């Protein structure tokens, strides 16, 4: 019994001894704040941390002590520790929540601005080494701001830019994706994300994002244009046509949309089972190629394709052979070294019964192509 009592007495004495080593809480908080505050002219973060560590040992569940620790770690840019301390301050002393939120907002703004400064330096650095160094410093600070507020778009967007500049596209695209998930109603961020997915050849994902973008903003013509290209790349041709027709109404002189639709209709007509079935597509191709070539007369392939559409219409209406011959003759004179133009022109003349002209055109085709077959 005496042994038990003696042991208890020793423990009690030890507890009293530990407590006796602790100074009043205000000693730690007030002293630490003097060394933390940069405006005091006495900033000494090492000494401040000694005081904070000692204070937390004595008052681990005190809101002001935890808040002081958070302020210290904000100055040291140790953001995980800062957030842990702020969460502890709110947990143990809920009345500290307003001050904690204010500190978070202030530190976020300061850190974000510092990161922006490094980002600007990176884009203006005279050497690659300096540029990379500044980009890395900006990245570290932006990642710190994300720990403070994971819902703010700015840091993610700038991280995307920084990683893209460092030629790390996967990470850049990851952050664009985060931005779009945070702001799914933003057509602007959605388009940026889709564009980076295209660069990574993730076409199906890009299509999904762009479809959301145009549902939110039906006048986002860049998104429509990219979506049309992707539909074409994935052989969703009916969807591609719908998009390009929509775009052509907005941009009636667009070479891209005219050319794509003309080629589509030429292909549909060529793959039709009968000339009658293909005729409507060839008519569309004729109209579209005429509009396209009026804007882009230097595109020799499109001249050839226009002639092909007109020649194909000749199966239903022989007057189109004359139109085909006129287009192909103009093209052949413009591009005399394009053998297939002369070959097609020869065929159009032959259909019109112009044997002499057909033979002359065919001879030019032979000479250019190196073939020796004689036309009969």
Domains of the chain (ranges plus CATH)? 21-92 (1.25.40), 254-376 (1.25.40.10)
Name the pLDDT band for 108 (thresholds 50, 70, 90).
very high
Instruction: Note the pLDDT tens digit of each residue in 312-340.
Output: 999 889 999 999 999 999 999 999 999 99
- Angle, CA of 110, 116 and 118, to the nearest 5°: 105
Is the confidence at residue 11, as pLDDT, over 50?
no
Instruction: Note the pLDDT tens digit of each residue in 189-233.
Output: 999 999 999 999 999 999 999 999 999 999 999 999 999 999 999
* Rounded Cα distance, 235 and 213, in Å: 21
- Cα–Cα distances in Å, from 348 out to 75, 279, 293? 82, 17, 20
**Structure confidence at residue 371 (pLDDT):** 62
- Angle, CA of 146, 180 and 251, to the nearest 5°: 145
Instruction: Note the pLDDT tens digit of each residue in 260-315.
Output: 999 999 999 999 999 999 999 999 999 999 999 999 999 999 999 999 999 999 98
Instruction: Note the pLDDT tens digit of each residue in 18-43.
Output: 454 899 999 999 999 999 998 867 78
**Structure confidence at residue 4 (pLDDT):** 41
Instruction: Note the pLDDT tens digit of each residue in 226-244.
Output: 999 999 999 999 999 999 9
- Arithmetic mean of pLDDT, 162-167: 97
Mean pLDDT of the chain: 91
- Arithmetic mean of pLDDT, 57-70: 96
* Rounded Cα distance, 205 and 200, in Å: 10
Residue 200 in contact with residue 231, Cβ under 8 Å?
Answer: no
- Angle, CA of 38, 82 and 158, to the nearest 5°: 85
* Rounded Cα distance, 211 and 201, in Å: 17
**Structure confidence at residue 54 (pLDDT):** 96
Q: What region, left, alpha or beta, does residue 315 occupy, with left being phi > 0 and alpha being psi -120 to 50 degrees? A: alpha
Name the pLDDT band for 82 (thresholds 50, 70, 90).
very high
């Amino acid at each position: 019994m005496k042994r038990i009592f003696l042991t208890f007495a020793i423990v009690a004495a030890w507890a009293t001894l530990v407590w006796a080593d602790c100074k009043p809480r205000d000693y730690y908080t007030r002293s630490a704040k003097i060394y933390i505050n940069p405006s005091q002219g006495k900033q000494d973060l090492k000494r401040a941390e000694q005081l904070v560590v000692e204070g937390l040992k004595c008052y681990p569940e005190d809101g002001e002590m935890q808040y002081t620790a958070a302020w210290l770690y904000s100055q040291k840019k140790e953001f995980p520790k800062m957030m842990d301390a702020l969460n502890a301050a709110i947990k143990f002393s809920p009345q500290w929540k307003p001050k904690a939120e204010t500190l978070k907002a202030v530190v976020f703004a300061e850190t974000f601005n510092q990161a922006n400064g490094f980002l600007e330096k990176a884009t203006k650095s005279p050497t690659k080494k300096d540029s990379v160094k500044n980009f890395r410093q900006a990245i570290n600070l932006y990642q710190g701001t994300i720990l403070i507020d994971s819902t703010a778009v700015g840091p993610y967007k700038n991280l995307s830019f920084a990683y893209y500049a460092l030629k790390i596209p996967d990470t850049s695209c990851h952050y664009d994706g985060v931005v779009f998930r945070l702001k799914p109603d933003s057509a602007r961020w959605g388009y940026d994300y889709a564009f980076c997915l295209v660069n990574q050849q993730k076409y199906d994902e890009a299509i999904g994002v762009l479809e959301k973008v145009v549902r939110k903003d039906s006048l986002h013509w860049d998104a429509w244009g990219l979506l049309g290209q992707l539909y074409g790349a994935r052989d969703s041709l009916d969807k591609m046509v719908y998009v390009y027709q929509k775009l052509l109404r907005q941009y009636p002189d667009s070479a891209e949309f005219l050319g794509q639709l003309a080629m589509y209709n030429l292909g549909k007509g060529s793959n039709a089972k009968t000339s009658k079935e293909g005729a409507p597509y060839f008519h569309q191709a004729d109209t579209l190629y005429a509009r396209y070539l009026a804007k882009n007369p230097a595109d020799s392939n499109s001249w050839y394709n226009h002639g092909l559409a007109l020649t194909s219409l000749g199966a239903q209406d022989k007057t189109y052979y004359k139109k085909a011959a006129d287009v192909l003759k103009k093209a052949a004179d413009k591009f005399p070294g394009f053998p297939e133009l002369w070959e097609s022109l020869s065929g159009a003349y032959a259909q019109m019964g112009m044997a002499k002209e057909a033979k002359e055109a065919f001879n030019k085709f032979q000479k250019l192509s190196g073939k020796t077959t004689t036309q009969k």
